[in-house]
């Protein structure tokens, strides 16, 4: 078992399986989209999706190719620290729901930017929308890399051809499908993904000698002694508490700023339904996440004890390689279809967010008299070109597909999350603070990332900088500090008072929390704001101190 | 009668505090159960559980079942707080205008929000 040209020997079989899967998605998307006549239908599925469907759709949107392929690749590289990094990603929808999702749902927002426009005004919303488009494209980039890798393995074609063929097929589907199709499809995709990941994993586990194959997500303890013997360092934490802490600003807070995830909360038929969806999301995602850790474990186990060799360039294919080695080809074809489903549902969310951001949050804001039809057409165009942009970026991809996705989390955490969180919970937050936070925080995050100025980084550890962990640990608190301090100061400068909409902001904050009246004591704590600033200063200073990596 | 209504109003003012405490508390709880790796990196444990190292399996179990349990709790409390806010709104709307002389009434609405709450 040595590394080589990993591909299906019978591409026709793979094509038939993938073709049938696509046909199912197109039919469901077409049937669901016949009713999609307005922008609201297109972006949030008419805001009447049930709890179970929505919970599954939330999980499917979140479970991207990063889950299917990316996690196992980085477990092979980083081992247990990457599992520990990934675990907290399950918090995204629960935290969005309890911190601001229900408030924005109550407000009837299409997207987080819609809230930012009403809360901070047009300029701040356009800045936020531009950053969110960058976030969505970077997120979509990771999916495109995965799609290309999958098609490469499926057809035995070069990466570039796989990228163009697979990418255009999927962008075409999403442009035709809209969110209603995507939501109903996402629920189906969730079943397909779970089935096509966990069942083949059971077979692989059985093949490598695991006795707990009947429930692979948790029952692989019998393989632990052999693993410890072959790879004694597998369970080592490797990094300091500072590295583990940096996960919170970069990824936990970062997830709160992801536009395509928050939009799933708005598709709920009611607030109660949104909260029930969150429970379904947590259960199903916990199951699949645990299975991916098991897949990563088995991957390392197979390379350490079974003589399997996977080159660094093929790391993103580990899940498929394990299936090629240990399972019949038709099973691998199903796994590939599952991987494509994972990429499809997440790309749907990303590209629809780009469509909503450009047509609703930028163009309709600048030209409020634009017709419904023109706005919808613009949305479809943006969805298509957003997809094309991610295909072009994937031509020269980073080493791991997960890198661009997790970096996008940090950018969302810097530019969007503080504006939404503070805007929902603190009446004093104003447009000057929001603009300062998004612009300075966003630029700082980009500058200290290794992609623009490789010499200006905080740790020198390529993955820590590349994943945005170090950058976000500095830029996220800076963004919170600027938002609070600049708002606090500008609210007390009399000459600026006529440029602020303090009364309307106050009423908006009360209304989105469900109140029909306005009381000065609500959502105006100076103590809370002060504590947040002090804590953020401490974290930012800690981020600047040596990481010793 | 008016005094009784106002007293009930003051008691139910807790809905706001409950909402803030619930959000901070639940956020902290979620972050804690989802980031057990951070806790173990500070306080390492050298033991095995269910055949796995504790520092490996506990974060995984908490990241699944711990989060799942918290979503159930958060859903129930969130719905309850929404109902309380709604009740408090009704109560505040039913309070007659305060008398022109006397101490300011902390329960009376200061300004009425211009738009109706929608989408619930």
Tell me the ipTM for this assembly. 0.88
For chain B, which residues make up each domain, given as ranges?
2-94
The 10s digit of each residue's pLDDT in A228-251 is 999 999 999 999 999 999 999 999
Q: Let me know: does A547 contact A495? Beta carbons within 8 Å.
A: no
Out of A57-61, A275-279, B64-68, which region has the weakest mean confidence (pLDDT)? A57-61
Residue B4, pLDDT > 80, answer no
Question: ∠A119-A123-A126 over CA atoms, to 5°?
Answer: 90
The alpha-helical segments, DSSP class H, found in A231-356 are: 241-247, 253-256, 259-266, 271-305, 318-326, 329-356
Chain mean position to CA A190: 16
Out of A2-16, A115-129, B35-49, B70-84, which region has the weakest mean confidence (pLDDT)? A2-16
For chain A, which residues make up each domain, given as ranges?
14-544
Which of A336, A76, A501 lies closest to A509 in space, CA to CA? A501
Question: In chain B, which residues have their Cβ closer than 8 Å to the Cβ of A224?
Answer: 51-53
Q: Which one of A89, A278, A422 makes the best mutation probe of the B interface by having the most chain B beta carbons within 10 Å?
A: A278
Q: What pLDDT is attached to residue A124?
A: 93
Q: Let me know: does A242 contact A547? Beta carbons within 8 Å.
A: yes
Q: Take residue B84 and report the two structure tokens written for it.
A: 């309380």
Q: Which of A240, A275, A506 sits opposite B41 (nearest CB)?
A: A240
- Beta partners for residue B111, in sequence order: A518
Contacts of A235 (CB under 8 A, 6+ apart): A79, A80, A228, B53, B55, B56
Pairing of strands B52-53, B48-49: antiparallel
Residue B109, pLDDT > 80, answer no
Q: Let me know: does B35 contact A244? Beta carbons within 8 Å.
A: yes
At which residue do the structure tokens 């999609």 appear?
Answer: A36
Residues A335 and A331: their CA atoms lie apart, in Å, by: 6
Which of A390, A97, A508, A396 lies closest to A270 in space, CA to CA? A97
User: A176 vs A180, A187, A201, CA distance in Å?
Assistant: 11, 18, 33
- The residue-averaged pLDDT of A510-527 equals 90
Question: ∠A207-A208-A209 over CA atoms, to 5°?
Answer: 90
Question: In chain B, which residues have their Cβ closer than 8 Å to the Cβ of A244?
Answer: 35, 37-38, 41
Q: Higher pLDDT residue, A31 or B55?
A: B55
Taking CA–CA distances from A55, the nearest residue in chain B reads: B71
Residue A91 Cα, gap to closest chain B Cα (Å): 7
Q: What pLDDT is attached to residue A356?
A: 79
Q: Let me know: does A60 contact A189? Beta carbons within 8 Å.
A: yes
Q: Let me know: does A499 contact A95? Beta carbons within 8 Å.
A: no
Q: What pLDDT is attached to residue A407?
A: 92
Q: What pLDDT is attached to residue B116?
A: 29
Which of A202, A233, A236 lies closest to A304 in space, CA to CA? A233
- The residue-averaged pLDDT of A4-11 equals 76
Q: What pLDDT is attached to residue B119?
A: 26
Percent with pLDDT over 70 in chain A: 91
Residues A57 and A28: their CA atoms lie apart, in Å, by: 14
Residues A190 and A53: their CA atoms lie apart, in Å, by: 10
Task: Give me the DSSP letters along A462-514.
Answer: HHHHHTTHHHHHHHHHHHHHHHHHHHHHHTT-GGGGGG--HHHHHHHHHHHTT
Q: Higher pLDDT residue, A10 or A279?
A: A279
Task: Give me the DSSP letters along A239-257.
Answer: S-HHHHHHHIIIIIHHHHT
What sign does the CA torsion over A103, A108, A113, A114 have? Answer: negative
Residue A325, pLDDT > 60, answer yes
- The residue-averaged pLDDT of A251-270 equals 79
Residue A447, pLDDT > 50, answer yes
Q: Let me know: does A254 contact A66? Beta carbons within 8 Å.
A: no
Q: What pLDDT is attached to residue A363?
A: 83
Residue A64, pLDDT > 90, answer no
The 10s digit of each residue's pLDDT in B17-63 is 888 999 999 999 999 999 999 999 999 999 999 999 999 999 999 99
Crossing angle, helix A271-305 and helix A71-78, to 10 degrees?
Answer: 50
Contacts of A421 (CB under 8 A, 6+ apart): A99, A100, A256
Residue B3, pLDDT > 80, answer no
Helix or strand or coil: residue A395? coil
B119 and A47 within 8 Å at the Cβ level: the answer is yes
Contacts of A46 (CB under 8 A, 6+ apart): A35, A40, A180
Q: Take residue A282 and report the two structure tokens written for it.
A: 């947590």
Question: In chain A, which residues have their Cβ closer than 8 Å to the Cβ of B85?
Answer: 513-515
Q: Higher pLDDT residue, B31 or B13?
A: B31
Residue A327, pLDDT > 50, answer yes
What sign does the CA torsion over A412, A420, A271, A373 have? Answer: negative
User: A83 vs A195, B43, B65, CA distance in Å?
Assistant: 21, 18, 16
Residue A39, pLDDT > 50, answer yes
Out of A11-20, A84-93, A141-150, A184-193, which region has the weakest mean confidence (pLDDT)? A184-193
Q: Which one of B41, B46, B84 makes the best mutation probe of the A interface by having the most chain A beta carbons within 10 Å?
A: B41
A106 and B118 within 8 Å at the Cβ level: the answer is yes
Residue A198, pLDDT > 50, answer yes
Q: Higher pLDDT residue, A330 or B38?
A: B38
Q: What pLDDT is attached to residue A349?
A: 76
Q: Is A131 left (phi over 0), alpha (psi -120 to 50) or beta?
A: alpha
A275 and B116 within 8 Å at the Cβ level: the answer is no
Contacts of A176 (CB under 8 A, 6+ apart): A26, A29, A30, A33
Q: Is B97 left (phi over 0), alpha (psi -120 to 50) or beta?
A: beta
Percent with pLDDT over 90 in chain A: 38
* B 35-74 → A contacts, CB under 8 A: 35-38, 40-42, 44, 50-53, 55-56, 59-60, 62-65, 67-68, 70-72, 74
Q: Take residue A38 and report the two structure tokens written for it.
A: 């307005």
Taking CA–CA distances from A89, the nearest residue in chain B reads: B34
Chain A contact present for B94, CB below 8 A: no
- Beta partners for residue B48, in sequence order: B53
Say what the alpha-carbon torsion angle A4, A7, A9, A12 is, to the nearest 10 degrees.
Answer: -160
Q: Let me know: does A373 contact A224? Beta carbons within 8 Å.
A: no
Q: Which one of A279, A292, A520, A535 makes the best mutation probe of the B interface by having the most chain B beta carbons within 10 Å?
A: A279
Residues A1 and A309: their CA atoms lie apart, in Å, by: 6
Residue B71, pLDDT > 50, answer yes
Out of A17-21, A47-51, A475-479, which region has the weakest mean confidence (pLDDT)? A47-51
The alpha-helical segments, DSSP class H, found in A394-430 are: 401-415, 417-425
Q: How confident is the model at residue A399 (pLDDT cuts 50, 70, 90)?
A: low
- The residue-averaged pLDDT of A385-412 equals 85
Which of A396, A420, A395, A417 lies closest to A408 in space, CA to CA? A417
Question: ∠A251-A255-A260 over CA atoms, to 5°?
Answer: 145
Residue A1, pLDDT > 60, answer no
Say what the alpha-carbon torsion angle A194, A196, A198, A199 is, to the nearest 10 degrees.
Answer: 130
Which of A415, A468, A534 lies closest to A85 in space, CA to CA? A468
What sign does the CA torsion over B37, B41, B43, B48 have? Answer: positive
Out of A40-49, A180-189, A365-374, A501-510, which region has the weakest mean confidence (pLDDT)? A40-49
- The residue-averaged pLDDT of A515-526 equals 90
Cα atoms found within 13 Å of the Cα of residue A179, Cβ hemisphere only? 35
Which of A482, A461, A474 lies closest to A418 in space, CA to CA? A482
Pairing of strands B111-112, A517-518: antiparallel
Residue B109 Cα, gap to closest chain A Cα (Å): 6
Percent with pLDDT over 70 in chain B: 68
Q: What pLDDT is attached to residue B25?
A: 95
Taking CA–CA distances from B76, the nearest residue in chain A reads: A275
Q: What pLDDT is attached to residue B118?
A: 26
The 10s digit of each residue's pLDDT in A413-439 is 999 999 999 999 999 999 999 999 999
Mean pLDDT of chain A: 85
Superfamily of domain A14-544: Sodium/glucose cotransporter (1.20.1730.10)
Taking CA–CA distances from A240, the nearest residue in chain B reads: B41
Q: What pLDDT is attached to residue A530?
A: 97
């Amino acid at each position: 078992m040595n590394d080589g040209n990993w591909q299906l020997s019978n591409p026709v079989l793979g094509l038939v399986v993938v073709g049938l899967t696509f046909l199912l998605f197109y039919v469901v998307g077409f049937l669901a989209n016949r009713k999609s006549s307005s922008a609201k239908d297109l972006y949030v599925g008419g805001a009447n999706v049930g709890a179970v469907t929505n919970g599954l759709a939330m999980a499917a949107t979140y479970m991207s190719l990063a889950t299917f392929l990316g996690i196992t690749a980085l477990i092979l590289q980083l081992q247990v620290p990457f599992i520990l990094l990934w675990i907290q990603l399950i918090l995204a929808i629960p935290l969005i729901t309890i911190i601001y999702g229900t408030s924005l749902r109550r407000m009837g927002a299409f997207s987080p930017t819609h809230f930012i426009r009403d809360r901070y005004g047009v300029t701040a919303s356009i800045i936020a929308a531009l950053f969110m488009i960058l976030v969505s494209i970077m997120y979509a980039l990771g999916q495109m890399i995965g799609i290309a890798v999958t098609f490469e393995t499926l057809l035995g074609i070069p990466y570039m051809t796989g990228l163009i063929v697979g990418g255009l097929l999927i962008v075409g589907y999403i442009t035709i499908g809209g969110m209603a199709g995507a939501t109903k499809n996402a629920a189906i995709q969730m079943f397909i993904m779970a089935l096509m990941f966990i069942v083949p994993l059971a077979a692989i586990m059985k093949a490598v000698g695991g006795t707990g194959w009947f429930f692979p997500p948790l029952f692989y303890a019998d393989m632990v002694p052999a693993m410890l013997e072959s790879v004694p360092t597998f369970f080592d934490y490797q990094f300091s508490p500072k590295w583990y802490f940096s996960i919170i600003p970069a990824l936990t807070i970062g997830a709160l700023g992801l536009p395509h995830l928050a939009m799933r909360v708005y598709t709920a038929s009611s607030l109660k339904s949104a909260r029930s969806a969150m429970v379904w999301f947590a259960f199903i995602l916990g199951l699949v996440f645990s299975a991916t850790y098991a897949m990563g474990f088995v991957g390392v186990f197979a390379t350490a004890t079974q003589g399997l060799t996977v080159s660094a360039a093929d790391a993103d294919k580990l899940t498929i390689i394990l299936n090629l080695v240990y399972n019949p080809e038709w099973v691998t074809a199903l796994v590939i279809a599952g991987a494509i489903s994972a990429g499809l549902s997440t790309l749907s969310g990303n590209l629809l967010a780009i469509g909503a951001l450009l047509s609703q949050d930028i163009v309709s804001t600048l030209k409020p008299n634009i017709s419904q039809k023109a706005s919808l057409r613009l949305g479809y165009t943006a969805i298509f070109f957003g997809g094309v942009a991610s295909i072009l970026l994937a031509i020269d991809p980073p080493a791991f597909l997960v890198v661009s996705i997790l970096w996008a989390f940090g950018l969302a955490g810097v530019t969007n999350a503080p504006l939404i969180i503070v805007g929902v919970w603190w009446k004093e937050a104003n447009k000057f603070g929001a603009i300062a936070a998004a612009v300075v925080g966003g630029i700082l995050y980009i500058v200290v990332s290794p992609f623009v100025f490789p010499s200006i980084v905080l740790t020198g550890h390529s993955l820590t900088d590349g994943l945005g962990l170090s950058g976000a640990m500095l830029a996220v608190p800076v963004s919170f500090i600027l938002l609070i301090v600049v708002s606090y100061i500008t609210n007390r400068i009399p000459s600026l008072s006529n440029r602020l909409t303090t009364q309307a902001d106050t009423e908006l904050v009360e209304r989105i929390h469900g109140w029909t009246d306005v009381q000065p004591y609500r959502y105006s704590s100076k103590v809370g704001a002060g504590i947040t600033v002090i804590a953020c200063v401490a974290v930012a200073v800690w981020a600047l101190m040596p990481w010793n990596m | 009668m008016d005094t009784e209504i106002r007293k009930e109003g003051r008691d139910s003012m807790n809905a706001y505090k409950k909402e803030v405490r619930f959000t901070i508390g639940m956020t902290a709880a979620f972050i804690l159960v989802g980031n057990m790796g951070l806790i173990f990196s500070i306080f390492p444990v050298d033991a095995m559980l269910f055949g796995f190292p504790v520092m490996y399996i506990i974060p995984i179990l908490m990241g699944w079942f711990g989060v799942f349990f918290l979503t159930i709790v958060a859903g129930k409390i969130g719905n309850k707080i929404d109902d309380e806010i709604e009740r408090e709104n009704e109560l505040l709307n039913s309070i007659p205008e305060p008398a022109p002389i006397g101490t300011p009434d902390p329960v009376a609405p200061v300004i009425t929000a211009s738009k109706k709450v929608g989408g619930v």
